[in-house]
Amino acid sequence: MWWRVLAATLAIGLAACAPAGPAAQLPSPTPSVVRITADDAARAMAGDHFYSDYGQAILIISGRVGGITVTGNNSRVALTTSTAAVVLCEAFGAPDVKTGDAISVRVRATDALRDDAGVLLRSCEVAAP
């Protein structure tokens, strides 16, 4: 009889120490960096596959400056595309760029929104020309 109690205790102890199932994968600590053009961003947003294409990535978007608006400490840089859509980069401060410059902007894909003009990139950083 004592061996049954010992066996049951041992079985419960082993079951308690065993893993519950497959270990869940943790998300990558650093998001991937994806380089795209302003055209790519505008087409993906218009085609309703921007978030499925770029997910949690950090995007480096290249394009040509179509215009700049500075209001107080904030600026909005418009990147032209080959479509009617525009990619708008909202940044802090006044970037040292002018209309016609070829630039790159950096933004998290999750900070992009559909906008009447095309794509609005909040918390965007303008890279030095």
- What domain count does the chain have? 1
Question: Are 63 and 102 spatial neighbours (Cβ–Cβ below 8 Å)?
Answer: yes
- Nearest by Cα to 97 from 79, 112, 120, 121: 79
Cβ–Cβ < 8 Å for 15, 86? no
The verdict on residue 3 lying in a domain is: no
Confidence at residue 20, expressed as pLDDT on a 0 to 100 scale: 56
Q: Could you tell me the mean pLDDT of each successive run of 10 residues in the chain, 129 residues long?
A: 52 55 60 95 95 96 96 95 95 92 96 94 86
Measured distance CA(85)–CA(115) in Å, rounded: 9
CATH number of the structural domain spanning residue 54: 2.40.50.140
pTM: 0.76
Q: Is 19 within the bounds of a domain? A: no
In a domain, 18, yes or no: no
Q: Would 11 be classed as within a structural domain?
A: no
In a domain, 6, yes or no: no
Q: Which domain holds residue 37?
A: 31-126
The pLDDT of residue 6 is 47
Residue 26 inside a domain? The answer is no
Output the pLDDT for position 21. 52
Cα–Cα distance measured from residue 39 to residue 86, given in angstroms and rounded to the nearest whole number: 9
pLDDT, position 16: 55
- Tell me if 1 is assigned to some domain: no
Neighbours of 32 (CB within 10 A): 12
109 found inside a domain: yes
